[in-house]
Amino acid sequence: MKKKHPIEALIEQGEHQQLDFKFEVSDSKKIARTLSAFANTDGGRLLIGVKDNGNISGVRSEEEYYMIEAASKMYTRPEVPFEATRWEINGKTVLEIYIAPSPEKPHLAPDKENKYKAYIRVSDENILANEILMLAWEKKHMKDGTLVKISKPVERLFAYLDQHPSINVGQFCRVGHVNYYTARNILSDLLAIDALQYVVIDKRILYERVPGNDKLAL
């Protein structure tokens, strides 16, 4: 039995959070958003020269690599590093681009109006990170760490999460009896110390307990 090529095995998975197919790369700014999303989430791979349906079309020239390089060097801030591998399959070339999850998040890339924003990877899409995630990432980089006060709103938040799988910022405002500014700061603090994690449902960012994490036992 003929051994399956590693790229063919990847393609069989279909596009998902850590795998994206590109027939070609024609817009470095657009691909920069994918690099940002992979780096800001769990990393991933771009397979260039593969159609959305998984058929291998092959890359046409060196131009594809230079477009990725331009996306990384010119349009991601800070720059998202990548590793490139060329694969030959049945006479066609597939360019594999690997992006590791980054400790330097957030990585920004230009949106359609050329404003630099952070993206996260959800299923097979790139969506905008919100203000709370941005704050949490910034707090993770603080040398002095993040101090979380066990206040009444925090107690109400975890009491709610004892009964519900997740919460959004609006719900926390109501449950915690706090304004948006306070809710934003508390949620970003708890994300920064890994007492909470984010989850995306229907393109909405929600917050949930980290399973098995008793870092903030109340």
Class of domain 6-128: alpha beta
**Domain 131-209 belongs to what architecture?**
Orthogonal Bundle (1.10)
Task: For the chain, give every domain's residue range.
Answer: 6-128, 131-209
pLDDT in the model for residue 213: 66
User: Which backbone phi and psi does 142 adopt, to 5 degrees?
Assistant: -70, 130
Task: Encode burial over 6-42: b for 16+ CB neighbours within 10 A, e otherwise.
Answer: ebeebbeeebebbbbbbebbeebbbbbbbbbbbbbbe
What pTM did the predictor assign?
Answer: 0.89
Q: What are phi and psi of 35, to 5 degrees?
A: -60, -45
Is the CB of residue 96 less than 8 Å from the CB of residue 7? Answer: yes
Query: Tokens 């230009």 correspond to what residue?
Result: 110
* Residue-level pLDDT at 114: 96
Domains 6-128 and 131-209 share a fold: no
> Which tokens hold the place of 113?
């109006």
Tens-level pLDDT at each residue, the chain (218 residues): 567 888 999 999 999 999 999 999 999 999 999 999 999 999 999 999 999 999 999 998 789 999 999 999 999 999 999 999 999 998 999 999 999 999 999 999 999 999 999 999 999 999 999 999 999 999 998 877 666 677 999 999 999 999 999 999 999 999 999 999 999 999 999 999 999 999 999 989 999 999 876 655 54
